[in-house]
Amino acid sequence: MNPILSSALGSILRYGLMILATYLVKHGIWTASAAEGYVEAAVVALLALGWSWWKIHANRIKFLTALLPGMTTENDVKSHIWNGEATPSVLTPPNEAPVQPADNKTN
pLDDT digits (tens, 9 = 90+) for 43-84: 888 888 888 888 999 999 999 999 999 888 999 999 999 998
91 assigned to some structural domain: no
Q: Residue 78's domain spans which residues?
A: 3-82
105 assigned to some structural domain: no
100 assigned to some structural domain: no
62 assigned to some structural domain: yes
Q: What is the pTM of this model?
A: 0.59
8 assigned to some structural domain: yes
58 assigned to some structural domain: yes
73 assigned to some structural domain: yes
How large a percentage of the chain has pLDDT more than 70?
93
- What does residue 68 show for φ and ψ, rounded to 5 degrees? -70, 150
56 assigned to some structural domain: yes
Domain count, the chain: 1
- Whole-Å CA distances, 1 to 8, 51, 62, 67, 87: 12, 8, 19, 27, 23
